[in-house]
């Protein structure tokens, strides 16, 4: 079975440019999560969706960040305009069923983002 697929694996761009990160969750999983990993803060939850609907976006750093899930098999995280402090590894994860916190999340391999 295919796991969570993220693209691109690496992204290097200049400050001010728009960045789009993509995620394909595991088929049948109702929850999709976006995380950011930094040395200082570890794994931070940015936003999560249930059945394509955003449930909690309180972790989104600021208005420059936006996330969408137009259908059950695709989600994007956009940063516009990007800044050097956005450099991090961004992970997407999905989990089966709804409302059960014992369901482990399945993570993609992440997108390493570098903003110059």
Shortest distance (Å) from residue 70 CB to another protein: 22
Shortest distance (Å) from residue 95 CB to another protein: 9
Q: Are 28 and 103 in contact (CB under 8 A)?
A: no
Q: How far apart are CA 9 and CA 45, in angstroms?
A: 19
| DSSP label at residue 4 | -
Consecutive H or E run containing 112 = strand 111-115
User: Of 14 and 101, which has the nearer Cβ to another protein?
Assistant: 101
User: Of 93 and 113, which has the nearer Cβ to another protein?
Assistant: 93
User: Of 70 and 104, which has the nearer Cβ to another protein?
Assistant: 104
Shortest distance (Å) from residue 71 CB to another protein: 22
Max Cα–Cα distance, the chain, nearest Å: 40
Q: Are 107 and 24 in contact (CB under 8 A)?
A: no
Shortest distance (Å) from residue 81 CB to another protein: 27
**Interface residues toward another protein, by CB under 8 A:** 4, 33, 35, 41-45, 48, 91, 93, 101-102, 104-110
């Amino acid at each position: 079975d295919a796991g969570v697929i993220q693209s691109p694996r690496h992204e290097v761009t200049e400050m001010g440019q728009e960045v789009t990160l993509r995620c394909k969750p595991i088929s049948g999983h109702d929850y999709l999560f976006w995380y950011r990993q930094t040395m200082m803060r570890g794994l931070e939850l940015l936003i999560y969706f249930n059945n394509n609907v955003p449930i909690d976006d309180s972790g989104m750093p600021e208005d420059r960040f936006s996330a969408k899930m137009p259908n059950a098999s695709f989600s994007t995280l956009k940063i516009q305009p990007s800044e050097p402090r956005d450099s991090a590894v961004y992970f997407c994860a999905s989990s089966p069923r709804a409302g059960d916190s014992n369901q482990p999340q399945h993570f993609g391999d992440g997108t390493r983002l570098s903003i110059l």
